[in-house]
Amino acid sequence: MCGIAGIFNPERPPGFELLAAMAVPLVKRGPDDGDTAVHDAVGLVHRRLSVIDLAGGRQPLYNEDRTLALVFNGEIYDYTALRQRLIRNGHTLKTETDSEVLLHLYEERGPAMLDELNGMFAFAIVHVDSGHIFLARDRLGQKPLFYAREGCRFAFASGPASLRVVDWVDTRVDGAAVHDYLEYQYIPTPRTIYCGVRKFPAAHYALWDGASLAMTRYWEPSVTSDFGGDYGAACGAVRERLQAAVKRRLVADVPVGLFLSGGVDSSLVCALASQAGTRTQTFSIGFPEKKYDERAYAETVAGHLSTDHHFLEVAPNDFSHLQRIVGDFEEPFCDASMLPMSLLSRFTREHVTVALSGDAADELFGGYYRYRIMKLCRCMALVPRPMRRGLGRAMRRMLPPKTEERTFFGRLQRLLEISEEDGIDRYLRLISRCPSPLKQSLYGPRLLETEWPATVSFLEGHDPGPPKALIDRIMEVDLKTYLCDDILVKVDRASMAYGLEVRSPFLDPDVVELALALPDHWKQQGMTRKRILMDTFRDLLPEEIFSRRKMGFGVPLARWLRRDWRDQTQALLTEGRLVNDGFFDRSRLQWLIDEHGASRADYSYAIFALVVLELWMGNQ
C-alpha cells in the first residue's frame, strides 16, 4: 500500500522541490520508502508501505525499454498467475511485485487490462516520450485518487493535501461541496472541499493527452437477480467464493491480522481465515459505555476460533482524538464511526501491517436497517401522500422530542418522517443528516450567495425506481455512493494514517458479482437481514453471534455534544472561521447548540459536521 502523486506542466516542468512538497502528506500512507522522478513535463512521486517483495518494489517502476513508468497504490491479489502468464508471453519482469505486473499487462491489453484485476488500486502509467498519462481506480473505490487540471496543466494524488501545494490549483472552499457535506456527512464524488480539485470516480479509467482528460467507466454495479440455481446452490457458491476471497487476502510478506468487532461480518472473515490453517491474530476495542460496547461478542468469537486476540478499551470521546483525525482525512468528513475506526487502526498497527475487515457485507447482502424501512414504507405508500404527511406530522407532535436517534422514540420519529415521502425523496430523507431547510437557515452570506446543486443532484441516475425492485435499486445506489464515499473513505483514511493496509474479502470481484446476482429475498426476509450469510456459515460460529442485535461502530454523539464536548463546541462554532469568514450565521449556530443542549431536538449530526468543518478550516 502506498501514496502516489504526479504532475504534468509543459509551461514549467516540475522540479524536485515541488515533488518533495507533494510527497510530504503521503508519508503516512507510505512510511517505508519514497522516490521521485522527472521526465520532461512530467513529475512522479511515490511513497511506499512495503507489503509484497519488501526489497524490490521501489517506484516509479519501468518496463524493459523504459517507455512506460508506473506509480501504484494498492494490492493485486491474483498477480502471481498474471505474472507467470506475462513471462510465458515474453515479458521480462525484474521484481516479484504486483506493481510491475500492471505495467506489462498494460503493454499487452491497454485499458482492457482492468477486466483481469482482482484487487484494490489507484495507479498512473506515464508514456515517457509523449507525457500522456493513463489513470485507473478500482471498481468500488477502495483506494483514493484525486486530480486537478487547468488548461494544459494536470496533477493527481492519493490525497487532496498533495495537490494543495501546487500553486495553480484553486484551493478556495467550494460552497456547493459544503452544502452536500452537511446533507450526507461526506462530500460526494466528483466534488471535493476545494473548487479546483476533483475525485477520480471509482470503476473508471482516463487518459490525459496533454490537453484533455478522457474519462471512461469500465464496470457498473448492477443488481441482476439472475442467479441460475436454487437457494442451496447459492449458499454453496457464497461459501466457496468468500473462502477463496479470504485466502487471497492473507498473502503478504508482513504480519496479517483481522479486525473483530463480534458482529456477523468480521466474525465470518475471522472464521474463514482460521480455516486457512494458520493461527490468526484478531483485534478489537471496547468502550466504557456498555450500550456501544461489543467486547463480549468479540471475545466469544475469539475464544471459539482460538485466535490470538488483542483487546484495548478506549475513550473515543477524548476531543484531542477528533482534532488529530480531522487532519488525517485531509478534507471534511464526519461519519462519527471514524473515531473508533481510527483508534482500532492505531492499536492494530502496533502488531501487524495488514488487517482484514468485514466491510461491504451490508451493502451487498442486505444488512442495513434502511432496507427494511424502505420496504415497510412501500406499504405506507398506499395511503395518499397529503394524508400521510398530515397524519405523520400530527403523530410526531404527540411523541416526545427526538433527543437521540438510537432510542425507541427517536427511531419512531424518524420512521414517521420518512413515511411522508415517495421514491427518491423518501430515500433522501432516510439518508439525510441535515435537510436543506435547516442548512439554509444556518447559512451566512458566503453560502447564501453559492449556487448549490439541487438536493438530489448527486443521486441523479440512481433513482430507486419501481417498488418491485426497491431493495435492489437502493443497494445499487449505496454501492455507488455511500460505500465508496463514506465507508471505504473512513477505512482507508483511518488505517493509512498509521500505515495499516486494510483488505475486505467482501469486495472481491467474484463475491460482488455473485451478490449482485442474488434476489433480494435471499438477502433480507422479514426481520432477518443478511439471510444467506447466516444460513451459509451458521456452522462456523456460535449461534448467539447470528441472533444478536446489530450495533455497528456507533458512538453516543448526541450525548457528547450535550456534555463532554459542549464547551469546545460552543467556542469553535461561535468564535471560529465558519462565522468570522461569513460561511454561517453566529446567532443561528448558537440557536442550534442551545436547542440540542436543552434536549428539545437531536441536532447532533449537523453540529458534529460543523465542528469537523471548523477544525478542518483551522488546519488550513
pLDDT in tens, 206-244: 999 999 999 999 999 988 889 999 999 999 999 999 999
Helices (H) and strands (E) in the chain, counts: 28, 17
- Whether pLDDT at 552 is above 80: no
Q: What tens digit of pLDDT does each residue of 127-157 get?
A: 999 999 999 999 999 999 999 999 999 999 9
Task: Return the residue matching grid coordinates 504532475.
Answer: 7
The domain spans of the chain are 2-217, 231-365+474-547, 556-620
Please give the sequence-ordered ranges of beta strands (E in DSSP) within 159-240, or none if there are none. Answer: 198-199, 204-208, 213-217
Instruction: Provide, rounded to the nearest whole percent, the portion of the chain with pLDDT above 90.
Output: 69
Quote the cell numbers at residue 99.
506493481
Report the distance separating Cα 256 and Cα 348, nearest Å.
Answer: 10
Per-residue confidence (pLDDT) for residue 461, from 0 to 100: 56
- Whether pLDDT at 286 is above 80: yes
Question: Region 249-266: what's the mean pLDDT?
Answer: 92
Lowest-pLDDT range of 1-10, 393-402, 499-508: 393-402
Q: Do domains 2-217 and 231-365+474-547 have the same CATH topology?
A: no
Q: What tens digit of pLDDT does each residue of 578-595 get?
A: 999 999 999 999 999 999
Per-residue confidence (pLDDT) for residue 455, from 0 to 100: 52
Per-residue confidence (pLDDT) for residue 405, from 0 to 100: 66
> The CATH number of 231-365+474-547 is which of 3.90.1180.10, 3.40.50.300, 3.40.50.620, 3.30.200.20?
3.40.50.620
DSSP sequence for 194-216: BTT-EEPPTTEEEEE-SS-EEEE
Report the distance separating Cα 244 and Cα 30, nearest Å.
Answer: 28
- Whether pLDDT at 27 is above 50: yes
Q: What three-state secondary structure class fits 594?
A: helix
Per-residue confidence (pLDDT) for residue 123, from 0 to 100: 98
Q: What tens digit of pLDDT does each residue of 297-331 get?
A: 999 999 999 999 999 988 888 899 999 999 999 99
Q: What tens digit of pLDDT does each residue of 361-388 get?
A: 999 998 887 777 777 766 666 677 777 7
- Whether pLDDT at 467 is above 50: no
To the nearest whole number, what is the mean pLDDT of the chain? 89
Report the distance separating Cα 21 and Cα 489, nearest Å.
Answer: 23
Q: Minimal CA–CA distance to 368: which of 316, 309, 431?
A: 431
Q: Report residue 130 CA to chain centroid gap.
A: 34
Looking only at the bridges linking them, the beta strands covering 146-150 and 204-208 are unpaired
Report the distance separating Cα 361 and Cα 220, nearest Å.
Answer: 18
Q: Class of the 2-217 domain? A: alpha beta
Per-residue confidence (pLDDT) for residue 468, from 0 to 100: 45
The full length of the chain comes to 620
C-beta contacts of 210-214 below 8 A and 24+ residues apart: 210/8, 210/10, 210/130, 210/131, 210/132, 210/152, 211/152, 213/147, 213/149, 213/154
Q: What are phi and psi of 609, to 5 degrees?
A: -60, -40
Q: What are phi and psi of 612, to 5 degrees?
A: -65, -45
Per-residue confidence (pLDDT) for residue 115, from 0 to 100: 96
Question: Region 534-545: what's the mean pLDDT?
Answer: 94
Lowest-pLDDT range of 24-33, 150-159, 485-494, 507-516: 24-33
